[in-house]
Amino acid sequence: MDAIIEYQGQLLQGTWVTMQLAIFSLLVAVLFGLLGAWASLSSNRLAQNIAAGYTSIVRGVPDLVLLLLVFFGGQELANAIGSLTGLWDYAEISQFAAGVGTLGIVFGAYMSETFRGAILAIPKGQIEAGAACGMSRPLVFRRIIWPQMVRHALPGFSSNWLVQIKSTALVSVIGLQDLVFNGFAAGRSTRQLFTFMFAVLVIYLVMTAVSDLGLRWLDRKYNKGVVRTQ
Amino acid sequence: MEESTTGFWADIGQFIETWSPLEILLIAQNFDRFLYGALVTLELTLLALILGGLISIPMAIARANKNSWFNGPVWVFTYFFRGTPLLVQTYLIYYGLGQFEWVRESVLWKPILAQAWWCALIAFTLNTAAYTTELLRGAIETTATAKVETAKAGGFLNWMRLQRIILPSAFRRVLPAYSNEVVFMLHGSVVASTITIQDLLGAGRWLNQQYYLSSEGFITAAVLYFVLVLLITRGFRYGEKHWLSHLYPEETKKAREGLSTFRI
């Protein structure tokens, strides 16, 4: 316990890095998710196929494998492109950028499935009715599609986000000084790895529990006036 | 390697060596390592799923029965394991347990707790047990009330009702969600490579280190993981058709869509 107090700065700094990683990768994931949902619902055959290929590759390959591939392979690819085109000499992909990019791509695939289902769950008649009342398309989106889409997407979004928080731990494998990395280093130097790994677990548990509470509050907010069947 | 090969295959090799951006020949030469790694991955995943599945049955029953004193502790267990990363759980067991002297001096230390393979298996088993418990609890709790009442009226006592009516039905209905859990356990098993185990990803990392490559090993591992996941999902699809045919097409479809994304 004393050791944890002694190393609390390191742990808090790691927690901050982990939180940043989780939030930035969430933004990327939502962006990819919306793009993926839009592509898979579009009438363009090619866009549909690209969206389907994207989700099935991500579902088939573990996130750590993709992370290592992006970090090490992406580095080489970036340099190869640089020397081929002469645009840049040496490009470096940071651990943080690789983490944000990979987690964003991976969870974007899951988000796109969630969003797609949520959009499909809105009765088409409502959208048509909005148009018939003379609403413009942005207005239809704001007043009719968005509030219901959020409601339908929230349960899936919540579980994706909780898994995503936990997946940030993997970025410590490529050397990002996140919560796991710092906790491990502190545990090594004090020879108290159990204590520190347990502290790291508890911090993750707090992060997932707080998110869970926040998402439940949102869920209640967006489900106001909806009768739930048991 | 065999130098005497001339003609067609040598030409192919030459062609690949000059034109391919990836070192395909190196992958081919070391492919047995990947197959062995895939075997380790499958072995760890399957054993964890079997052991975790067995543990989860009594825990799910305890969770579904709200009055049982067992409910609380099991909830703590599942909440802890589902709310934290598998990577850190594995580190806790593999690196952490050695902190305690009584663990290091116990009989279990040398044969089990100091071995990476066993630690990975323990962590994976506990992790999948937590997820499976909650899935199974959900399935038990959503058993049609009429079914349970009919069994009561028919004179089935508690244990018999569970064994003959509730569990068989719950096992079937949990299949679509459980197939996700199986894929996630396979995905999660990559954590083994971070504690020195030569699993499928471990083979990829080995290849890259051995020949100073950046992506060949990872790409090969990725392709093989993809194939494994494809086979697993196909298998489950087949199983669902077989055991859930009475629910097709309406309810299974709904269950699938509802669970299309994720665990927790």
- Highest mean pLDDT among A28-32, B23-27, B28-32, B137-141 belongs to A28-32
Q: pLDDT, tens digit, for every residue of B80-134?
A: 999 999 999 999 999 999 888 888 888 888 888 889 999 999 999 999 999 999 9
Give the pair of three-digit tokens for residue A10: 């390191």
pLDDT > 70: percent of chain B: 90
Which among A130, A118, A150, A94 is positioned nearest to A41, based on CA atoms?
Answer: A118
Which of B83, B219, B263 is opposite residue A69, by nearest beta carbon? B219
Q: What is the value of pTM for the model shown?
A: 0.87
Q: What is the pLDDT of residue B221?
A: 95
CA–CA distance, A180 with A175 (Å, rounded to integer)? 10
In whole angstroms, how far apart are CA A154 and each of A187, B48, B222? Answer: 38, 31, 31
Q: pLDDT, tens digit, for every residue of A74-107?
A: 888 888 888 888 777 777 889 999 999 999 999 9
Which of A60, A160, A194 is opposite residue B96, by nearest beta carbon? A194
The residue-averaged pLDDT of B9-15 equals: 75
Distance from CA of A138 to the nearest CA of B (A): 28
pLDDT > 90: percent of chain B: 50
> Is any Cβ of chain B less than 8 angstroms from the Cβ of A1?
no
Give the pair of three-digit tokens for residue B225: 């993981």
> Is any Cβ of chain B less than 8 angstroms from the Cβ of A195?
yes
| Matching CATH number, B26-258, of 1.10.3720.10, 1.10.8.60, 3.40.50.300, 3.40.50.620 | 1.10.3720.10
The residue-averaged pLDDT of B62-87 equals: 90
Q: At what angle do helices B31-64 and B71-82 cross, to 10 degrees?
A: 150
Contacts of B234 in chain A (CB under 8 A): none
Q: pLDDT, tens digit, for every residue of A11-45?
A: 999 999 999 999 999 999 999 999 999 899 888 89
Lowest mean pLDDT among A90-94, A126-130, B162-166: A90-94
pLDDT band at B252 (very low <50, low <70, confident <90, very high): low
Lowest mean pLDDT among A155-164, B39-48, B148-157, B242-251: B242-251
Q: Which residue has the tokens 């020879």?
A: A191
ipTM confidence score: 0.89
Which of B84, B98, B214 is opposite residue A201, by nearest beta carbon? B84
Residue partners of B94: CB distance under 8 A and separation at least 6: B116, B119, B120, B123, B195
> Is any Cβ of chain A less than 8 angstroms from the Cβ of B85?
yes
- Judge if the upstream peptide bond of residue B249 is cis by omega within 30 degrees of 0: yes
The domains found in chain A, sorted by start residue, are: 13-173 (1.10.3720.10)
Average pLDDT value over all residues in chain A:
90
Task: State the DSSP string of chain A.
Answer: -HHHHHTHHHHHHHHHHHHHHHHHHHHHHHHHHHHHHHHHHSS-HHHHHHHHHHHHHHHHS-HHHHHHIIIIIHHHHHHHHHHHH-S-S-----HHHHHHHHHHHHHHHHHHHHHHHHHHTS-HHHHHHHHHTT--HHHHIIIIIHHHHHHHHHHHHHHHHHHHHHHGGGGGGGT--SHHHHHHHHHHHHT-HHHHHHHHHHHHHHHHHHHHHHHHHHHHHHTTTPPPP-
8 A C-beta contact, residue B186 and residue B232: yes
For residue B264, pLDDT beyond 70:
no
Which of B88, B201, B264 is opposite residue A180, by nearest beta carbon? B88
pLDDT band at B260 (very low <50, low <70, confident <90, very high): very low
> Is any Cβ of chain B less than 8 angstroms from the Cβ of A78?
no
For residue A224, pLDDT beyond 70:
yes
8 A C-beta contact, residue A156 and residue A114: yes
Q: What is the pLDDT of residue A23?
A: 96
Q: What is the pLDDT of residue B253?
A: 57
The residue-averaged pLDDT of B70-88 equals: 93
pLDDT band at B261 (very low <50, low <70, confident <90, very high): very low
| Domain boundaries along the sequence of chain B | 26-258
8 A C-beta contact, residue B114 and residue B98: yes
A58 vs A80 pLDDT, higher one: A58
For residue B250, pLDDT beyond 90:
no
The one-letter code for the residue type at B224 is: L
For residue A194, pLDDT beyond 90:
yes
Whether B214 and A191 lie within 8 Å, measured CB to CB: no
Q: What is the pLDDT of residue A229?
A: 52
The residue-averaged pLDDT of A193-200 equals: 94
Q: What is the pLDDT of residue B95?
A: 94
DSSP B30: T
Q: What are the φ/ψ torsions at residue B70 (nearest 5 degrees)?
A: -75, -20
Q: pLDDT, tens digit, for every residue of B206-215?
A: 999 998 888 8
For residue B185, pLDDT beyond 70:
yes
